[in-house]
Amino acid sequence: MRALLRFVPLALLGTIALLAPGLAHGRAHATTQTLVFTTPAISVPGYGVVTKPMLIDSPHVDGYVVGLTAEIVDVHGRVQGRSKVMLHHIVFGKIGVADPTCGGGTQRFYAEGEERTALRLPAGYGLPNKASDRWYLLYMLMNHKPQTLKGFVRYKVTYVTGETLTPVSPVWMDVRNCTGFDPSFDVPGTGKRFSAYVRTMDWTAPESGRIVSAGGHLHGGGIRLELHNTTCGTTPFVSEPTWGGPVPHPILHEPGPTHMSQFTSPEGIPVAAGQTLRLTAVYDNGAPHTRTMGIMILYMAASQATGCGPTPKLDIDLGRPSYPPVFTFPLPLAPKGPVARGVTSSNVQEFGYEHPLVSLALGTTFTWEFAGTVLHDVTLVSGPVGFSSPWTLAGSFSHRFTRRGTYKLFCSLHPAQMSQIIVVR
């Protein structure tokens, strides 16, 4: 354990505190510690959203990650409520390790959003980690106050050294897999309430394994995430959302679930090499839901599984699942100005749309021309059909309006600064 203390960098990427008692005089026997790391300050403009990758500190001896949680703290180390700087999304990755579903050079191994799912594994299992491993963090934080605030991501790693655990590897299942920093999609909302909008992704297991833990991530309007084994025709796990709790004000996005069900199982759900797993994200299509996600991270241990085995008993942290509520999302900022008629495009700059109020004939294709120094988008807040553009610096995005009605739009990255209303006659 002395070695661990020696390798802690005191000022490199943040601060670290070792909470485990007796660390300084322990010997090289099995030890479980809670390592607490804090990132450098992240500045979030008033009512703004920031998303960026950063290199972060990680355990500096070989061992196993058996637990991980993250939260946003202020400069005094106090946990920030959802009404200040809110944790929107956070993804942990390992640089230089191939990702099993997306390839590339960063293995995504843990994430959380508003549902605040902690990494949990059954006893005896761990994510192997080397002293030389380099961790990366992709954060998306949202500030609900008018002034710029500083947030720090504090993450607690439960870490086992001096013993050999059964290794697990993370498998990132995402219905918008491999689409970069913004794996979101839009639910058009053109059906009746309780009708479903579904997206899926398939992954064929290259080796046999057992899924010993999994949890899900959905946004507002999400009904459930289903994990299927399409080769065997089974649905071994469904992650369900819990809704409710206080909504931060002002409302800058449609609130997501406050909990998603998660399971652990020491036996694990068997998956044989060559079998196909399918993730199905189910959303309510009775109203538009924009920039939504459907993600489930599987933690898999090796196995000799062949054929289609039975699903073992799962220990499910269920929460209080319910159907997503109807949510009224007002525009945070009312657009002002003369109504532009006969225009079919708007420039998008810091920080506004050239024509805040537009009247269009049905069937018109409208184009947003982006030319800013920071990323912007155009996202439907409420209206007849959900749509959104990618985050864009320069270039254009077009949408054809095929339904009459009032489309309330904003920039999801600057929700209280940039808004537009398009009325389609």
Q: Give min distance, CB of 348 to Cu ion, in A.
A: 8
* Among 169-177, 227-235, 358-366, 408-416, the segment contacting Cu ion (CB under 5 A): 408-416
DSSP per-residue string spanning 275-327: -EEEEEEEEE-SS-EEEE-EEEEEEEEE----S-PPP---EEE---B-PPPP-
Asked whether position 210 contacts Cu ion by CB under 5 A, the answer is no
Return the range that interacts with Cu ion (CB under 5 A); candidates 49-57, 211-219, 241-249, 406-414.
406-414
β-bridge pairing 31-38 and 15-18: antiparallel
By CB under 5 A, tell whether 413 contacts Cu ion.
Answer: yes
**For strand 49-56 and strand 134-143, is the pairing parallel, antiparallel, or unpaired?**
antiparallel
Q: Does 82 bind Cu ion (CB under 5 A)?
A: no
Determine the size of the site formed for Cu ion (CB under 5 A). Answer: 4
187 contributes a contact to Cu ion by CB under 5 A: no
- CB under 5 A: which stretch of 116-124, 218-226, 374-382, 386-394 binds Cu ion? 374-382
Q: Is 253 in the site for Cu ion (CB under 5 A)?
A: no
Radius of gyration from C-alpha coordinates of the chain: 23
Summarize the chain as % helix, strand, coil (round to 5).
Answer: 0, 50, 45
- Bridge partners (DSSP) listed for residue 328: none
Please give the Cα distance from 138 to 273 (Å, whole number): 31
C-beta separation of 114 from 255 below 8 A: yes
Rounded to a whole number of angstroms, the minimum distance from the CB of residue 418 to Cu ion is 5
Neighbours of 425 (CB within 10 A): 11
291 counts as binding Cu ion under rule CB under 5 A? no
CB 292 within 8 A of CB 176: no
Q: Measured from the CB atom, is 293 or 413 closer to Cu ion?
A: 413
The stretch among 63-71, 239-247, 322-330, 413-421 that binds Cu ion (CB under 5 A) is 413-421
Among 253, 289, 408, 414, binds Cu ion (CB under 5 A): 414
Toward Cu ion, which CB reaches closer, 253 or 376? 376
Q: Is the peptide bond before 410 cis (omega within 30 degrees of 0)?
A: no
Give the nearest distance from C-beta 45 to Cu ion in angstroms. 11
Pick 2 or 52: Cβ nearer Cu ion:
52
Residue of 1, 87, 333, 411 interacting with Cu ion (CB under 5 A) = 411
User: Which lies closer to Cu ion via its Cβ, residue 44 or residue 97?
Assistant: 44
d(CA 148, CA 145): 8
Cα→Cα distances 91→180, 323, 378, 403, Å: 12, 26, 24, 37
**How far is the C-alpha of 62 from the C-alpha of 128, rounded, in Å?**
8
- Kindly state the smallest distance separating residue 372's Cβ from Cu ion, in Å: 7
Residue 381 found at the interface with Cu ion (CB under 5 A) = no
Binding segment toward Cu ion, per CB under 5 A, in 70-78, 93-101, 290-298, 412-420: 412-420
What HEC string does 132-195 produce? CCEEEEEEEEEECCCCCEEEEEEEEEEEEECCCCEEEEEEEEECCCCCCCCCCEEECCCCCCCC
- Cα→Cα distances 384→188, 388, 406, Å: 8, 13, 7
375 HSE (CA, 13 A, CB side):
13
Q: Smaller CB distance to Cu ion: residue 158 or 388?
A: 388
Q: How far is the CB of 15 from Cu ion (least distance, A)?
A: 32
Query: What whole-number distance in Å separates Cα of residue 325 and Cα of residue 327?
Result: 6
**Least CB distance from residue 413 to Cu ion, whole Å?**
4
Q: How far is the CB of 144 from Cu ion (least distance, A)?
A: 17
Q: How far is the CB of 408 from Cu ion (least distance, A)?
A: 16
**Minimum distance between the CB of residue 377 and Cu ion, rounded to whole angstroms?**
7
**Closer residue to Cu ion in complex, CB, 144/210:** 144
410, 379 contact by CB (below 8 A): yes
Supply the minimum distance, in Å, between the C-beta of residue 414 and Cu ion.
4
Tell me if 376 contacts Cu ion by CB under 5 A: yes
Using the contact rule CB under 5 A, the part of the chain among 41-49, 183-191, 322-330, 371-379 near Cu ion is: 371-379
Our CB check for Cu ion shows the closer of 44 and 260 to be: 44
Write out the two tokens for 64. 């196993």
To the nearest whole angstrom, how small is the minimum distance from the Cβ of residue 375 to Cu ion?
7
Smaller CB separation from Cu ion, 99 or 182: 182
Name the one range near Cu ion by CB under 5 A: 21-29, 151-159, 269-277, 405-413: 405-413
Q: Which residues bind Cu ion (CB under 5 A)?
A: 376, 411, 413-414
